[in-house]
Structure 1
Amino acid sequence: MLVLTRKRNESIIINDSIELTVLSIDGDQIKLGINAPKDVDIHRKEIYLQIQKENSEASNLPTNLLDFLKNKK
């Protein structure tokens, strides 16, 4: 893990296209501004992990689920 020290209004650049800026610091809370291309997904880690979990669960559904749902009518 790379650890950087930044002050308010200072930034870091990632891969020439993503800029993270420290907007404010209040106690143990930091507000970050993120400039990134529209095709880059940005999520808080807990949301990202939930998406990964749901995707994994969805991929484990039975392959005949569509047939099952069609026959339920």
Structure 2
Amino acid sequence: MLVLTRRENESIRIGDDIFISVTQIQGNRVRFAIEAPKEIRIVRGELQMTTSVAEVPTTLVASIVASIQTSATAVLR
């Protein structure tokens, strides 16, 4: 697992066409903007997901977002 620290208005690039930007940090909440192709399904980590071969990129993105959120919360403490 890769853990990264980002501040507001900083971003992460995954591959050639997925961008995750931290748009706002307020208290213990982090707001992200995710730019990805339409065929990439993006859901919140707490939502139940079934994993299939077609959803592997979605699972990866959800995991990365959860890691960033955890790191941002730790930095704010």
Aligned length: 51
Q: How far apart are 1:27 and its partner, in Å?
A: 1.1
Which structure carries more relative contact order (alpha carbon 8 Å, separation 6+)?
2
- Deviation (angstroms), 1:45: 1.2
Q: Secondary structure at the match of 1:25?
A: strand
| Fraction of identical pairs, as percent | 47
SS in structure 2 of the partner of residue 45 of structure 1: coil
Q: Which residue of 2 aligns with 1:58?
A: none
1:52, 1:5 → 2: CA distance? 29
> How many angstroms apart in 1 are the aligned matches of 2:44 and 2:2?
19
* Distance (whole Å) between structure 2 residues aligned to residue 42 and residue 16 of structure 1: 17
Larger Rg: 1
Could you state the TM-score of these two structures normalised by the residue count of structure 2? 0.61
Do structure 1's residue 51 and structure 2's residue 49 form an aligned pair?
yes
Q: Which amino acid aligns with 1:19?
A: F
Q: Which residue identity is paired with 1:30?
A: V
The SS at the match of 1:7 is coil
Question: Structure 1 stretches of 5 or more lacking a match?
Answer: 54-73
RMSD: 1.5
Matched, 1:11 2:3: no
Note the C-alpha offset of 1:15: 1.2
2:38 counterpart of 1:38: yes
Runs of 4+ aligned structure 1 residues displaced above 2 Å come to none
1: distance between equivalents of 2:23 and 2:40? 21
Q: CA deviation at 1:51?
A: 3.4
